[in-house]
Amino acid sequence: MVTGDVARSVLGVIGNVISIILFLSTVPTFYKIWKKKSVEQFSPVPYLVTFVNCGLWVFYGLPFVHPHSLLVTTTNGAGIAIESVYLLLFIIYSDSSKKRIRVIVVVVMEIIFLGVLFVLVLTIAHGTKLRSAIIGSICIAGNISMYASPLAVMKMVIKTKSVEYMPFLLSLFCFANGVCWFSYGLIRFDPFVVVPNGIGALFALAQLCLYAIFYKSTQRIIAERRAKNELSLGNVAPSTGPNNSQIQSI
């Protein structure tokens, strides 16, 4: 018979794997950014929110904050490393210095926030129960913000009827990640894990519904754009070789 602790550990390991896949799911997006040397209309907001959220959960899963939650710390530690690479690419390939500076300022502010929070909680709050309550409450807000960060992109999707700039794999693995950690939190009931991940699964499901609704219109828009580009290229006269008048004069 499988005990609750064993089931929780199994779900935690699965959650680690899914979370890392979630963090890596936008590699195709950043490969496109690297190839084009431009972030185009991609938003840095989901990655900025995920960065600070991972920092909060690393703190929450430490033994002197919330015992028996080391799996939470490991997966989010990997998340911080991966999101740091993404944000670096955003900084390098931003289309304007204003965007670049904005991302740098937000990252610095997030690091300062995490450092101050870490020192204050360890200094003022005594005992894991109180520390868990404080950090867990902030984590709920952070996790919901992470899952809700694509809402701005969803608004653009509805307006343009195109899901081109809302990565599908990110939405898919957000849903899987939310469901897995929601189940993990239910076994040894942890409201700080259950609430944000349950809400996150619903947000991700909404994004997947948008994909189902606007997938065909997105393909049509991309096809029309390619046809227009090909037509424009076809109308450009050759730049080399003699023209008709030159041939006649020869």
Q: For 44-68, give the DSSP string.
A: SHHHHHHHHHHHHHHHHTSTTTSTT
Least confident of 33-37, 118-122, 241-245: 241-245
The DSSP line for 58-103 is: HHHTSTTTSTT-HHHHHHHHHHHHHHHHHHHHHHHH-SSHHHHHHH
Q: What is the pLDDT of residue 249?
A: 35
Say if 238 falls within a structural domain: no
Say if 223 falls within a structural domain: yes
pLDDT tens digit sequence for 64-99: 888 877 778 888 888 899 899 989 988 888 888 888
pLDDT tens digit sequence for 146-178: 777 666 677 778 887 887 777 787 788 888 888
Domain that holds residue 102: 4-232
Q: What is the pLDDT of residue 250?
A: 33
Residue 116, pLDDT above cutoff 90: yes
Compute CA 11 distance to the chain's CA centroid, rounded to the nearest angstrom. 22
Say if 116 falls within a structural domain: yes
| 113 neighbors 58 (Cβ within 8 angstroms) | no
The one-letter amino acid code at 171 reads S
Q: What is the distance between the terminal CA atoms of the chain, rounded to a whole angstrom?
A: 94
Q: What is the pLDDT of residue 115?
A: 92
pLDDT tens digit sequence for 197-242: 888 888 889 888 888 888 888 888 778 777 777 666 555 545 444 4
Say if 201 falls within a structural domain: yes
Confidence of residue 106 (pLDDT cuts 50, 70, 90): very high
Say if 45 falls within a structural domain: yes
Say if 40 falls within a structural domain: yes
Q: What is the pLDDT of residue 237?
A: 47
User: Count of domains in the chain?
Assistant: 1
Say if 244 falls within a structural domain: no
Say if 158 falls within a structural domain: yes
CA distance 203 to 157: 15
Q: What is the pLDDT of residue 176?
A: 87
pTM assigned to the model = 0.66
How far, CA to CA in Å, does 143 sit from each of 87, 204, 220, 250? 18, 13, 35, 74
Using alpha carbons, select from 53, 48, 83, 55 the residue that is nearest to residue 197.
53
How far, CA to CA in Å, does 164 sit from each of 18, 117, 146, 154, 214? 23, 37, 20, 11, 10
In the numeric block, which tokens belong to residue 117?
């929070």
Q: How many residues does the chain have?
A: 250
pLDDT tens digit sequence for 4-32: 677 777 887 887 788 888 788 778 888 88
208 membership: H or E segment, kind and range: helix 191-234
Long-range contacts of 88-92 (CB under 8 A, 24+ apart): 89/30, 89/33, 89/34, 90/33, 90/39, 90/44, 90/47
